Amino acid sequence: MSIIELISTERLNTYRELTGSEKQAIALHNHTLQLASSLMSMIALLELALRNATNQRLIEDFGDGEWLLPSSSTLPLRPQERRMISKAHSHAQRAMYAKLSYKEKAALDSKAFPNGVPTAITHSKKVKARQALFEVSHGQVISQTTIAFWKRLYSSDYENDLWKTSLKRVFPNKKLKRSQISKSLEVIYAARNRVAHHEPVYGLRLEQTMDALTLIRNSIGTRSFEQDSSFKRFSKVLYLRLLMDYEGFKEAWDTLTVSTLPNQPLTAAP
């Protein structure tokens, strides 16, 4: 197969329109992937820090170390977030079930169906009944939550219930507003989804993503942007690598793109 067939003509068209040539399109495509790799690494680190810092803050302020378990109702969460927790709980049970051997899975039927397995039951329903037997911990549920859940806790829906009472302590810089945190998390979330689906991040979207990542990185656990923090130290190598790939991408962009094409400078929206 040719390089074009491996990448796909449809996917390469985006880069061909930007560069004006097939060879340069392939080169820009690869530069974009390199940048995406660094973006995803930094976003993953930030997601880990955000969810753990948020979780610890909520545990301390609400006094419930198991607030993520479906049976808990300590926190004033909306139905949408309750559904997300329920889904994460199911995924945690599924993960535990997946580790069993075939014989171990079949052995669960005696507990899932004490009166015998119904003859007309589907395989999927049988599996769900088996998985429902597993008791998962708060930490196991955390590992199955997504950044979509955690960013929602910083939305305007929780301005009074969570932000003012608790979560502003995760971002103790008094100059920062909840809306700034929320907006940055939305930008990061959108970029993460694009990268995860191998979609390019460039132009205005890239600039906004870099600004958002920098703001969150410099704000978790700090009272000022300049203050040092555990997360700054922890993420230093990946952040510097991201900056290096970002600068490399900008240089490649300036070299490979056709300046005469409309709306194609780096600051243009993709």
Q: What is the pLDDT of residues 35-69, one digit of tens each?
A: 999 999 999 999 999 999 999 999 999 999 999 99
What pLDDT is recorded for position 269? 38
Q: Is the pLDDT of residue 260 over 70?
A: no
Q: Is the pLDDT of residue 266 over 80?
A: no
Rounded-to-integer distance, Cα 211 and Cα 204, Å: 11
What pLDDT is recorded for position 265? 46
Instruction: Work out the mean pLDDT of the chain and round it to a whole number.
Output: 92
What pLDDT is recorded for position 259? 57
What pLDDT is recorded for position 12? 86
Average pLDDT value for residue range 117-143: 95
Share of the chain above pLDDT 90, in %: 83
What's the pLDDT tens digit per position in 62-111? 999 999 998 887 899 999 999 999 999 999 999 999 999 999 999 999 99
| Helical segments of the chain, H only | 3-7, 9-19, 22-62, 79-98, 102-107, 109-112, 123-131, 138-142, 147-152, 178-196, 203-217, 230-234, 236-256
190 band by pLDDT with thresholds 50, 70 and 90: very high
What's the pTM value of the predicted model, to 2 decimals?
Answer: 0.89
Q: Which residue from 176, 185, 178 is spatially nearest to 211, judged by alpha carbons?
A: 185
Q: Is the pLDDT of residue 144 over 50?
A: yes
Rounded-to-integer distance, Cα 140 and Cα 136, Å: 6
